[in-house]
A and B are shown apart, each in its own frame.
Chain A
Amino acid sequence: MTMDVEEVKRRAGPREFSPADDLPEEYRTAATRMLEFHANSEIMGAYLERPFIRQSPSLERKLAFSAKVQDEIGHGQLLYRAAESLGIKTREEMLSDLANGDGKFLNCFHYPMTEWEETPMIAFFVDGAAMRRQATLKQSSWEPYAHAMDKVCFEEGFHVKHGESILAELMNGSRKEQRLTQAAFEEWWPRILQFFGPTDDQSTHHDFAADVGLKTMTNDELRTAFLNSYLPKAETYGLEIPDEPRIRQNDDGTWDVVEDDLDWEEFFSIAKNEYEPGLGQINARKEAQAAVEWVREVLDDREAMAAGGHTGQAAD
């Protein structure tokens, strides 16, 4: 018998629910929304960094970026599997939605990244923010999500430290490198502050996801934890924190971000996939997906042959 929402809320705890449980549609829909967003973000992040396999200034960086992009695509696959096991959407549907502009993903991955000095903004700050969030999702009530986070967090430490290593190198490099890195930081900083979304009273999906244990920390708590770890790092490397957007630390260690200093119109147009540069990112991946359509067809044919003894084409 299908569990009702009240029972889900009562039982909600770390790794409590698995595909063996008959969960109500509200839970499965909310979990699918979170997982699909997360999976899409892994894929779009990988595409953002892929050009830097070529543009890396050294062989070591090239190897590391290549490994990292491979990891992120793998994380996407893990998460699509964890999402698919909820029975709401198939992996094919989620990938098609991402290609046709219906799939949602992180704000930071809607912005183009062209210069080497920008790479630590994603590879250190955004990945660091993502890892903060992912570490808490090891306690998610959807067991396949928590299990995916075990592997993701195992691998992610390399990503963040590699990103920090690039930042350290650039900020100890030439004056020009330092200047360009500071400029990149100023451009990306407001986007990074928006990573955790608007303050909690404006977040629409949080309450239910928290009540059923899908997530365990609020946007505000995650933003505070991130700032407490990563702001001192930025300062250590000599980055100057821009005066605006204004941020202020309270006596209890939490942080307030002056929301009016951030561009929420841009943020919400990004959230709806209506931001022009972001559409470029979406369409570039769509083309890459179309270019390897033949590979998926070959695999599907092979699967059909193994299952039924004849190919899809022969069935026509």
Chain B
Amino acid sequence: MIWEVFRQEAAGDYHAHCGNVHAPDREMALLFAEIQHGRRKPTNSLWVVPQDEVGEVDTDEAVFGGTTDKSYRFAQTYSVEPAAEEVEASEEEQTEAERKRGDL
């Protein structure tokens, strides 16, 4: 049985997928995950999930973000100076997301 492993580097971080392990049950899956994925990189916590229990939808089935122009959803569309640093930070994150989507 395959178990997917998600590692959290430090308390408060997100658990991010880092690989998987072969194991006959949860107890051994946790042990193997600890050995294979928790030893070299900084690790605060691991989530171990049966592979069959992971649902997936990908770009073959879905058009993430839709097919229409969604520029009205983004801060950079509105040509006013951000009122405060947190507004500016949000705009930077949105611009970065736009760049990663290939929309810039």
Chain A interface residues (CB < 8 Å from chain B):
14-16, 18, 20, 60, 63-64, 67, 124, 128, 131-132, 134-135, 143, 146-147, 153-158, 160-162, 164-165, 168, 225, 229-230, 233
**By the criterion CB–CB under 8 Å, are A168 and B80 in contact?**
yes
Contact check, B45 vs A154: say whether CB atoms are below 8 A apart: no
**In the complex, chain A residues whose CB is within 8 Å of the CB of B97:** 154
- Would A165 and B79 be within 8 Å (CB), given that A131-B86, A132-B84, A157-B89 are in contact? yes
List 30 interface pairs A-B (beta carbons < 8 Å), by A numbering. Answer: A15-B11, A15-B12, A15-B13, A16-B11, A16-B12, A20-B45, A63-B72, A128-B83, A131-B84, A134-B86, A135-B85, A135-B86, A135-B89, A146-B12, A154-B90, A156-B90, A157-B87, A157-B88, A157-B90, A158-B78, A160-B83, A160-B87, A161-B75, A161-B77, A161-B78, A161-B82, A164-B80, A165-B78, A225-B84, A229-B84
Binding site of A, secondary structure by majority: helix, strand, loop or mixed?
helix
How many of B's residues come within 8 Å of A, CB to CB? 27
Q: From B11, B14, B75, B90, give the contact of A147 (CB < 8 A).
A: B14
Q: Judge whether B72 and A165 touch: CB under 8 Å.
A: no
Complex: how many Å from CA A162 to CA B74? Answer: 9
Complex interface: chain B residues within 8 A of A124 (CB): 83
Flag if A60 contacts B78 (CB, 8 Å). Answer: no
> Which residues on the A side are within 8 Å of B93 (C-beta)?
153-154, 157
Nearest opposing residue in chain B for A229, CB measure? B84
Residue on B nearest A165 in the bound complex, by CB:
B78
Residues in A neighbouring B82, C-beta threshold 8 A:
157, 160-161
Q: Are the CB atoms of B86 and A132 closer together than 8 Å?
A: yes
B91 interface contact, C-beta 8 A: yes
Query: Does any Cβ of A come within 8 Å of B73's Cβ?
Result: yes
Q: Which residues of B contact A132 (CB under 8 A)?
A: 84, 86
On chain A, the residues within 8 Å of B87 by CB distance are 128, 131, 156-157, 160-161
